[in-house]
């Protein structure tokens, strides 16, 4: 059990990759704080964890709101007394593919969830981890945090920002015992992937040399590794979980 006695927080734990990771953490005996906006889905993740004899609570929060993010960490400390691991996974896609037709609201929405949400989460998580003298954070980017796709340019920009934030924060806190890494998945079979057209699904699937898209569990396993002491000399790293996508 590689996370025994650890307390782990997962933003966007209400579905997809976040839910799979919350369950994977709990199976390694971490106590898990599941975060998201949808109460029914968050409680479902907690139920799934408890069914597998794990321990978890749900905290409803919007990661774009500073008061909400502060409340996540406060609740974690109230209930479990510490915070060892955080997976800052909450994110969204969906934008007009044409830059010249995009709106300021689209820009703000993408950047607020994907970038500000990760920055705010790290701000309060690191403040707590500094008190403890240790911690491990994994942020969620994407293959388009490293390479670009032309028709999702705001999403591409936001995920590049997450990679940059991760590297700079990792350097800032390297001597404080806090490791900060980022995962960069290719297309993964979740609601977000299901939301695209069949044509886009076929195109995205074809970009992966391994010949298929990934599963939430395949990303969760990578996050689990980076969150654990098995990755004790790894910080500021971008781990591709992409079936060979960027190796081409
Ligand atoms: P998903 O099932 O749609 O998950 C998105 C999660 O983000 C949900 O749990 C959602 O929870 C949460 N979220 C969104 N906005 C939020 C907000 N303002 N505050 C709090 N939580 C918020 O899709 P997914 O594929 O698992 O996505 C998870 C992450 O993986 C995202 O960051 C995404 O960019 C990244 N990613 C996905 C793929 C892919 O192909 N699926 C590939 C690379 C990277 P609520 O709706 O309950 O708030």
In this structure, how many other beta carbons lie within 10 angstroms of the beta carbon of residue 67? 8
Task: Report how far residue 248's alpha carbon sits from residue 245's, in angstroms, rounded to the nearest whole number.
Answer: 6
Which of the four pLDDT bands, split at 50, 70 and 90, describes residue 157?
Answer: very high
Give residue 54 CA to ligand 1 midpoint distance, Å: 23
Residues involved in catalysis: 155
Question: Domains along the chain?
Answer: 7-247 (3.40.50.720)
Residue ranges in the chain assigned as alpha helix (H): 16-27, 39-51, 66-80, 104-111, 117-132, 153-172, 191-194, 198-206, 216-227
Question: Ligand 1: residues whose CB is within 6 Å?
Answer: 11-12, 14-18, 36-38, 41, 62-64, 89-93, 113, 140, 142, 185, 187-188, 190-193
Task: Report how far residue 105's alpha carbon sits from residue 108's, in angstroms, rounded to the nearest whole number.
Answer: 5
Q: Which of 12, 163, 188 to mutate to test the pocket of ligand 1 (most atoms within 8 A of CB)?
A: 12
- pLDDT for res 173: 98
* Nearest atom (ligand 1) to Cα of 19: 9
pLDDT in tens, 176-222: 999 999 999 999 999 999 999 999 999 999 999 999 999 999 999 99
* Nearest atom (ligand 1) to Cα of 91: 32
- pLDDT for res 40: 98
Q: Whose CA is nearest to atom 34 of ligand 1?
A: 91
Q: Of 109, 159, 156, whose CA–CA distance to 139 is shortest?
A: 159
- pLDDT for res 241: 98
pLDDT in tens, 58-101: 999 999 999 999 999 999 999 999 999 999 999 999 999 999 99
Task: Report how far residue 78's alpha carbon sits from residue 229's, in angstroms, rounded to the nearest whole number.
Answer: 25
Give residue 51 CA to ligand 1 midpoint distance, Å: 23
**0.75 cut: is pTM over it?**
yes
* Nearest atom (ligand 1) to Cα of 140: 32
Give residue 175 CA to ligand 1 midpoint distance, Å: 31
Give residue 140 CA to ligand 1 midpoint distance, Å: 9
Average pLDDT over residues 153-177: 98
* Nearest atom (ligand 1) to Cα of 63: 19
Sign of CA dihedral 138, 74, 161, 217: positive
Q: Tokens for 198? A: 């069949």
């Amino acid at each position: 059990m590689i996370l025994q006695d650890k307390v782990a927080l997962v933003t966007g734990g209400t579905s997809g990759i976040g839910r799979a990771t919350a369950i994977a953490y709990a199976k390694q005996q971490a106590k898990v704080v599941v975060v998201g906006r949808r109460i029914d889905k968050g409680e479902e993740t907690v139920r799934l964890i408890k069914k597998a004899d794990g321990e978890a609570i749900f905290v409803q929060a919007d990661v774009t709101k500073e008061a909400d993010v502060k409340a996540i960490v406060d609740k974690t400390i109230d209930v479990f007394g510490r915070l060892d691991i955080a997976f800052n996974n909450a994110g969204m896609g969906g934008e007009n593919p044409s830059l010249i037709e995009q709106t300021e609201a689209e820009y703000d929405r993408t950047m607020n969830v994907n970038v500000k949400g990760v920055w705010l989460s790290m701000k309060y998580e690191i403040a707590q981890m500094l008190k403890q003298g240790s911690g491990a954070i994994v942020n969620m980017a994407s293959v388009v945090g490293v390479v670009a796709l032309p028709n999702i340019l705001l999403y591409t920009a936001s995920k590049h920002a997450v990679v940059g934030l991760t590297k700079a924060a990792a350097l800032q806190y390297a001597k404080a015992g806090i490791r900060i890494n980022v995962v960069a998945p290719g297309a993964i079979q979740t609601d977000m992937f299901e939301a695209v057209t069949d044509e886009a699904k076929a195109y995205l699937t074809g970009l992966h040399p391994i010949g298929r898209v990934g599963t939430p569990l395949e990303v969760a396993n990578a996050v689990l590794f980076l969150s654990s002491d098995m990755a004790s000399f790894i910080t500021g790293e971008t781990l591709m979980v992409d079936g060979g996508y960027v190796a081409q």
